[in-house]
Structure formats: C-alpha cells, structure tokens
Amino acid sequence: MRRGLNFVLAIAAGSLLLVACVSDGGGPPESANTSRGPIEVWLSTNPEEVAWGEQVVASWNSQHPDEQVTAQQIPAGKTSEEVIYSSIVAGNAPCVVLNTAPSAVPQFQQAGGLVALDTFPDGDSYVEARTGKEIADQYRSPDGRFYQIPWKVNPVMIFYNKKLFAEAGLDPENPPLATWDEFLQTSRTLVQKGVAPAAIWPAPSSEFFQSWFDYYPMSAARTQQQLVEDGKATFDSPDGVAVGNFWRTMYAEKLAPQEKYNGDSFKDGAAAMASAGPWAIPVYKDTIDWGVVPIPTEDGKPADQIYTFSDEKSLAIYYACEHRLTAWEFVKSATTEAADGELLELTGQMPMRQNLPEVYASYFATHPDYEQFADQAGRVVEVPNVQNSTEIWQTFRNAWTSAVVFDDEPIDKAFADAAARANELLAEE
Amino acid sequence: MTLVRGAKSGSTIEGGLDVEKERWLGRQPIGLLFILPYVIFLIGIFVYPLVVQFVISFYDFFFAAPGADVDRPWVGLQNYADVLQDPTFQRSLFNVFVFMIINVPATVFLSLVLAYALNTKIRGLWFFRGAYYAPYVTASVAIVTVWLFMFGVTGIVNTVLGPLAPDPSWLINSYWAMPMIAIFVTWKQLGFFILLYLAALQNVPNEVYEAADVDGAGAVRKFRSVTVPGVRPATTLVIILATITGMNLFTEPYLLTNGGGPNGASVTPVFYMYQKGVEQGQAGYAAAIGMILLAITLLIALVQRRLLERD
C-alpha cells in the first residue's frame, strides 16, 4: 500500500516538474514584422472561394518568386474557429486566414494569436480607406486597434420560394413580407395551404451562433444596435422583447418548427422562406426559383432604411507568422479593387468596400439578383467586438431557446436574467 | 574471528541491500522492464494531462500562442467555487443522474438476460450475437442520424403513435430528451456488456446448475440463484463501466439533441466542459469541472465497489 502510494506520489511529482518545465515556448522573433519570405494561407472550404483564392495566390506567386504563398483549405473541424484557435495554441497557425469570423477575434486576440494592423505603417489607413471609417470602426477591438481586415459581407435577407408562394395564392413578385403582421399572415397562409411544412425554419437549437439568423437580423432592422453597446447588453429592452415575442408567435403557431432540420430546409422545399446572405445564391440557383426581400420590420420601414446582420468574414494576420510583411502585402493584393471584383464575380459575396454598387456597377447590371444584397451591404450591424463574446452569445441563446422557442419562461424575465449575466461578463474586462 | 565477523557483517549488508532492492524492484526486476512502455504511455497520456489539468484549474487560464505575452492570474479555489454555484453545471449533474438512473439498471438487466439467452443453444445464435454487437461497433454519427429520423416530429415512431406521440417530439421535449439519450446509449453499448457477461458465464461451473436441477430449481430460480451470484464480479465491472460512460457522456447530447438541448435538458458535465474550455476559451474553469467530475466518478465507483463486493 505504502509502496503504491510512493509510486503515485513519485509520478505526480515528476509530472508537476514537467508542468513547471513546460513553458509556452518562444514565438517568432521581433524581426518577423519586417520580414519577407514564403508564407502559408488558409482559405475557407466554400468551392467558389477556393477557386478565387487559388487564382489570387497564383497571381501573387508569379510576381513574387522569393515570397511564395502556399494555400490550403481550413482543416476540417466542427467549426473553422475551433481549428484556428487550436492552431494558434499549437503555434502552427498560418500567416493569413481568409475566413476569420469577427466573433472569434476577441478570443484569438486574448490568446495573443493575432497581429495588430498598426504594426504596419499603412495598416489602419488602408482598412479605413477601403471600407469607410464608420463601418470599419465596428471591427476595432476594445483597445482601439485593428486585429482584422473587414473583407466580405453576406447581409442576411429573407429568401422566398416563388413557386410555393404562387401555390399558396400569394403574389410571388411582390410578396407581403414588409411588416411583422404581413410576415405572420403570409406564414400562416403558406402553412395552412400546405405548400410547405414550415413557413421559415431557422435552427432552433442551442448553438451560440444560431441567433445570428433569427433574433439578430430583426433586432438590427429595428434598432441598428449591436448585441452589446457601451458595455451593456441591448436585448433586455422593449425592442429586444418585441423581437422575442414576434418569434414566439411563429413557434407557438408552428409556423417555424421547434425541431432542427437535418439539411437545408429551403433547398429541400421543407420551408418556404429562409434567412441567408448572397452566399446562398449559387446553392439555390439551379433548384429554386427564389426571390429576396429585406428583413421585415414591425411598421414596414422603407427598404433603404433597413439594417441587418452582416455575417461578415475578415482577413487576419496570425502571430505565428515569421514573414509578416509578406503577409500584409499579400492581404493588400487580395483586397485591391480588381481582386474584390474577382471575388464578387466568382463567389457573389460582397467585398467590404465603400460605394459597392457604384464601384462594380457593370457587374450588378448583369447580375440583378445580387443588386439588392449590394445595396444592403452598406447597412449592416456586426457582432460586438468584446471579450467573452462567445459566452455572452451562448447566454443569450440559452434564454432564447428557453423563452422564445420552448416558452418555458417569460421572455422579459429570461432576457433580463441573461442581460444581467452578460453585463457581469462585460464588467470582467 | 575477525574474518568471520567481517563475513557475517558483510552478508548482513548484502542481505539488507537485497531486501531493499526487492522492496523497490520486486522479486523479478525484469518485469518492470516489460511494463515500462505502458507506464510511460500512462504517464504521457493520462497522468501528465491530469496533473496539468489540476494545476490550471487554480488559474484564470486560457490557452495562448507560444511566446505570447498574456496574463493568466492565480485564482485559488475560485474556479471550483464558481463551478459548484453554476446553475448549468448543477443542471448537468442532475441530467446525468437521470441518465444513470435509467441506463445503469437497464444495462445490467438487459445485458445479463441477453447474455444468458445467448449462452444457450438456440437456432441462429450467430445472428443474434452479431445483431446485438452491431450497434456497438457502428459509428455513433451514423446511428444518431437514423435515430433523428426515427424520433423526429414526422418520424416513424410518431407516425405509428399518432396522437399519443409527445408534443414537442422526443428529442426536443424537456422531459424525454435525457431518457431518450439513456435508451440510445443502453441500446448502443449493450453488445459490449453482453460480451463481458458471456465471458463471465463461462466461469460459472456446470456442476452448480446440475445441483440446482437436482434440487428441482426451475429456469428462473436457476437464473436468480446461480447465474446472478456467479457473475457478480462481472456485474461490478459492468456497473462501474456504465457509470463511467454516464459521467463521460458527450457524443449523444452533442449530436442527438443538438448541443444539450432542448433548453439545457440534456447538457452533461463533459459537454459543458467542452463548451467552456473549447468554445468559450475558459480552460481554467473547464479544468475545475473536470476535476470535480473526476472526484464524483471516483466516489461513486468506490461506493459501488464497496456495496457490490461486501461479501
């Protein structure tokens, strides 16, 4: 017995010694900020983006034989953010990820995984000039620095299936979806006529990011506010509760199901509407005759006053990069007016560039499907760039599923409790 | 005399050294060499991470880039205090308790009865053995998909039950979600536990059954009075393993109920640990959950062992 105890203690002591010996190791040298050389970049797994990325990399490599760029898709994982975070911790993150979620930036920044853009003389000015100061400022971190380059935006709007609308006796060219009452009535008509099991089928599950496609677009359309403003949660308000009540009606009347759909409900015809951005156009174009309208508001605001969730993705330069100057130059070359135009052409996603409809007027003239999204791209609300953002979103989502999806508690109480917890987390900063 | 004394004294020293050597290295030191690879494996894969987890549970710890200058202050027992007061953690313990109340007895009963049946000479034995073992060796992801379709709102189960089907449906119903996971896991793991019992049944001597026959015992009596006591060590093992499975429950709430839904009704401690440690980057907090979970599991296993091996 005593021998066994000694053995366990010896192993524990040895392990503790190992723990003590293991440090975080060394990062890249100081000179990395001004160093040039070969770099690695990660692209998203979207086929259209991969095609664009490979084109940009090939073009760069042909002009920079001593600073070759190697591109690969983000390795498989539950989410890209988890894979990127793991690579930051392991010290083998690529130099650039062309698909960094703004909601993950606070966590990556806290982990010391990102390079601030003011490391480069023209870092901040480049972002502000390309995106416009007002929108770009949403992407500044609480310390006032940029750790991401706002890249492309997928403003969330309401897709609808024209064929199903026509079958339900609704005008497919001018569907009544501008106000909440119209949206509810249209939803009732669609379900009662049996053209689809659901009017709309946002995922009702508990993952923290699901609120970006039900609550957040409607909240943005109503208030133009982020989930957190001035260090306080905004959803514990009459506006937030009103959005909750609207969706409660959708769930209570079974116009939106409480069960998650396994697949794409809109593509499969299981739902007559979907909230998505222009990335979805290539997905639906061959199977569905679709139309798109702005997010409905309670009183039917004019379309040019309606805001929505951006569903934006950024570029970021990662701390493990040993040739950061090359990385920065590559980022700039991937976001020139011409490169952004290619991105738009190949993927249909909107570059975060000022005056988008005017800059690419010829593209939108030949692609009218995308015009509304281009117009909407100038009125978007981003996720808040604050510490503990994932936990704040999860706290809100738990309140949402409890009160709105399953009606287990009053919405105002659930939102107030969640806001109190979110405010505690914000105060921890 | 001196020589003799010297010789005596030398042999005493040598004898003492031998005893000391044997005390530390055992009677067959070469055995240590044979177990060394596994000991190294165990230290590297289990002990070292456990000690690291223990250490970081006392810090406001998050994982960071190598070489990054970050602040991770010592917080003492604060993580433990926060975890114990956390309503989601308390809910997850309750959920796991519900799971074990259903899963552990069902696993023991069904696997023993089925092993007993499969130990007899019946037609198509190979088919039944394969059928019970198939779910265990099939990937959870594949089976979960089938269950999602079966127990969905428009699935075959609800279609058959008609108006008797629960609303909301099984996997999104606060009352049914955890029992459904328990039933799923019981069914999926059954093949493995049947195998354990089949092995244990081979050790129950035939003479005991013959004696029971002579005493006029029927099939049920023989099962109760011979088989059940005869496989008691296996039952201890099955109960402890089923308990550990319950405490480590992750895949099913992650896949079957879409992340611990509905409304937290199927959140488990390990799933919560994943949410905190991986999704939210609070490794210190997640480590404290892990240590508390380890302590609870050890305690339950110890109590079970004491109770089951009393005699």
Return the number of CB contacts < 8 Å for A and B: 134
What CATH number has the domain spanning A157-310+386-427? Answer: 3.40.190.10
B contact set with A (CB within 8 A): 23-24, 43, 47-48, 50-52, 55, 62-70, 88, 145, 148-149, 152-154, 168-169, 171-172, 174, 258-264, 275, 278-282
Spell out which residues of chain B touch residue A401, defining contact as CB-CB under 8 Å.
261-263
For tokens 């062309």, what's the residue? A98
Q: Which of B47, B149, B261 sits opposite A206 (nearest CB)?
A: B261
In chain B, the N- to C-terminal Cα span, in Å, equals 58
Q: Is there a domain that residue B266 lies in?
A: yes
| Contact with chain B for residue A357, Cβ under 8 A | no
B40, B63, B75, best to mutate vs chain A, most A CBs in 10 Å: B63
Cα–Cα distance measured from residue B245 to residue B104, given in angstroms and rounded to the nearest whole number: 10
Angle in degrees, 0-180, between the axes of helices B87-118 and B177-201, rounded to the nearest 10: 40
B59 pLDDT above the threshold of 90:
yes
Q: Is there a domain that residue B104 lies in?
A: yes
pLDDT at position B31 is 87
Q: In this structure, what are the phi and psi dihedrals at residue B44, rounded to the nearest 5 degrees?
A: -70, -40
Cα–Cα distance measured from residue A33 to residue A115, given in angstroms and rounded to the nearest whole number: 9
Region B18-22 average pLDDT? 79
- Residues 6 or more apart whose CB falls under 8 angstroms from that of A401 comprise A204, A205, A206, B261, B262, B263
Q: Kindly report the average pLDDT of chain B as a whole number.
A: 89
Q: Which of B48, B171, B263 sits opposite A408 (nearest CB)?
A: B263
B9 and B111 in one domain? no
| DSSP H helices in chain B | 2-25, 29-42, 48-56, 78-85, 87-118, 125-137, 140-150, 156-161, 177-201, 206-214, 219-222, 228-230, 232-247, 251-255, 269-274, 283-308
Peptide bond into A351 cis (omega under 30): no
For tokens 């088989």, what's the residue? B227
pLDDT at position B305 is 81
pLDDT at position A237 is 97
Q: Tell me how close the Cα of B145 comes to any Cα of chain A, in angstroms.
A: 9
- Give the pLDDT band of residue A18 (cuts 50, 70, 90): low
The Cβ of residue B229 has, within 10 Å, a number of other Cβ atoms equal to: 12
B276 and B221 in one domain? yes
| Contact with chain B for residue A181, Cβ under 8 A | no
Q: Is there a domain that residue B69 lies in?
A: no
Q: Is there a domain that residue B87 lies in?
A: yes
Residue A422: name the closest of A388, A379, A376, A398 by CA. A388
Cα–Cα distance measured from residue B264 to residue B249, given in angstroms and rounded to the nearest whole number: 14
Cα–Cα distance measured from residue A137 to residue A156, given in angstroms and rounded to the nearest whole number: 20
Residue B51: name the closest of A90, A5, A11 by CA. A11
Chain B's closest residue to A15, CA to CA, is B48
Q: Give contacts of A 318-337 with B, CB under 8 A.
A: 319-320
Q: Is there a domain that residue B148 lies in?
A: yes
Chain A's closest residue to B62, CA to CA, is A111
B279 and B191 in one domain? yes
Spell out which residues of chain A touch residue B273, defining contact as CB-CB under 8 Å.
none
Cα–Cα distance measured from residue A127 to residue A133, given in angstroms and rounded to the nearest whole number: 8
Cα–Cα distance measured from residue A182 to residue A298, given in angstroms and rounded to the nearest whole number: 9
Q: How far is CA B50 from CA A19, A23, A25, B44, B249, in A?
A: 11, 17, 21, 10, 19
Three-state SS at A157:
strand
Region B274-294 average pLDDT? 94
pLDDT at position A429 is 62
Residue B256: name the closest of B171, B175, B142 by CA. B171
CA pseudo-torsion sign B283, A72, A37, A146: negative
Q: Tell me how close the Cα of B109 comes to any Cα of chain A, in angstroms.
A: 33
Task: Please answer whether residues A428 and A391 qualify as being in contact, where contact means their C-beta atoms are separated by less than 8 angstroms.
Answer: no
Cα–Cα distance measured from residue B31 to residue B45, given in angstroms and rounded to the nearest whole number: 22
Q: Is there a domain that residue B72 lies in?
A: no
* Beta carbons of B262 and A16 less than 8 Å apart: no
Region B148-168 average pLDDT? 90
Residue B140: name the closest of B256, B46, B263 by CA. B256
Q: What is the CATH number of the domain that holds B104?
A: 1.10.3720.10
Spell out which residues of chain A touch residue B152, defining contact as CB-CB under 8 Å.
259
Task: Please answer whether residues A233 and A426 qualify as being in contact, where contact means their C-beta atoms are separated by less than 8 angstroms.
Answer: yes
Residues A44-82 have pLDDT tens digits of 988 999 999 999 999 999 999 999 999 999 998 878 899
pLDDT at position A83 is 93
Question: Over the Cα atoms of chain A, what is R_g?
Answer: 24
Top-tier CATH class for A30-147+313-351: alpha beta
Spell out which residues of chain B touch residue A97, defining contact as CB-CB under 8 Å.
none
Residues A149-206 have pLDDT tens digits of 999 999 999 999 999 999 999 999 999 999 999 999 999 999 999 999 999 999 999 8
Ranges A76-80, A237-241, A263-267, B70-74: which has the least confidence: A76-80
B87 and B46 in one domain? no
DSSP string, A33-101: GG--S-EEEEE-S-HHHHHHHHHHHHHHHHH-TTS-EEEEEPPPSSSHHHHHHHHHHHT---SEEEEE-
Residue B288: name the closest of B269, B301, B303, B302 by CA. B269
Q: How many domains does chain B have?
A: 2
B175 and B87 in one domain? yes
Bigger pLDDT: B71 vs A30: B71
Q: In this structure, what are the phi and psi dihedrals at residue A260, rounded to the nearest 5 degrees?
A: -70, 140
For tokens 């969330």, what's the residue? A156
Amino acid at position A41, single letter: V
B117 and B156 in one domain? yes
Residue B51: name the closest of A4, A2, A18 by CA. A18
Domain with CATH 3.40.190.10 in chain A: 30-147+313-351, 157-310+386-427
Q: Which of B48, B55, B62 sits opposite A111 (nearest CB)?
A: B62
* Beta carbons of B152 and A259 less than 8 Å apart: yes
Burial degree of A253 (CB within 10 A; 0-12, 13-18, 19+): middle
B269 and B222 in one domain? yes
pLDDT at position B1 is 39
Chain B's closest residue to A87, CA to CA, is B65
ipTM computed for the complex? 0.82
| Contact with chain B for residue A1, Cβ under 8 A | no
Spell out which residues of chain A touch residue B70, defining contact as CB-CB under 8 Å.
110-112
Task: Please answer whether residues A56 and A336 qualify as being in contact, where contact means their C-beta atoms are separated by less than 8 angstroms.
Answer: no
B85 and B47 in one domain? no
Range of the domain at B19: 2-56
- Give the pLDDT band of residue A9 (cuts 50, 70, 90): low
Element (H, E) at A161: strand A157-161
Three-state SS at B191:
helix
Q: Which two tokens stand for residue A404?
A: 């709105």
Cα–Cα distance measured from residue B54 to residue A14, given in angstroms and rounded to the nearest whole number: 14
Q: Which of B64, B153, B275 sits opposite A112 (nearest CB)?
A: B64
Peptide bond into B262 cis (omega under 30): yes
Residue A172: name the closest of A32, A311, A291, A330 by CA. A291
Q: Which two tokens stand for residue A295?
A: 């997010």
CA pseudo-torsion sign A357, A362, A363, A369: positive
Cα–Cα distance measured from residue A184 to residue A182, given in angstroms and rounded to the nearest whole number: 5
Residues A349-383 have pLDDT tens digits of 999 998 888 999 999 999 888 999 999 998 999 99
pLDDT at position A6 is 59
Task: Please answer whether residues A88 and A111 qualify as being in contact, where contact means their C-beta atoms are separated by less than 8 angstroms.
Answer: yes
Ranges A27-31, A80-84, A120-124, B245-249: which has the least confidence: A27-31
Q: Which of A26, A111, A401 sits opposite B64 (nearest CB)?
A: A111
Spell out which residues of chain B touch residue A390, defining contact as CB-CB under 8 Å.
279-281
Spell out which residues of chain A touch residue B63, defining contact as CB-CB under 8 Å.
85, 88-89, 111
Q: Which of B68, B70, B280 sits opposite A391 (nearest CB)?
A: B280
A5 pLDDT above the threshold of 70:
no
Residue A89: name the closest of B66, B95, B185 by CA. B66
Q: Tell me how close the Cα of A206 comes to any Cα of chain B, in angstroms.
A: 6
Spell out which residues of chain A touch residue B55, defining contact as CB-CB under 8 Å.
16, 19
B267 and B126 in one domain? yes
Task: Please answer whether residues A31 and A86 qualify as being in contact, where contact means their C-beta atoms are separated by less than 8 angstroms.
Answer: no
| Contact with chain B for residue A12, Cβ under 8 A | yes
Task: Please answer whether residues A112 and A106 qualify as being in contact, where contact means their C-beta atoms are separated by less than 8 angstroms.
Answer: no
B212 and B99 in one domain? yes
Three-state SS at B21:
helix
Q: In this structure, what are the phi and psi dihedrals at residue A289, rounded to the nearest 5 degrees?
A: -90, 100
Q: Give contacts of A 390-409 with B, CB under 8 A.
A: 390-391, 394, 398, 401-402, 405-406, 408
B107 and B34 in one domain? no
- Compute the C-alpha angle A137/A344/A310, nearest 5°: 35
* Beta carbons of A113 and B65 less than 8 Å apart: yes
Q: Which of A107, A111, A208 sits opposite B68 (nearest CB)?
A: A111
Spell out which residues of chain A touch residue B24, defining contact as CB-CB under 8 Å.
3
B261 and B187 in one domain? yes
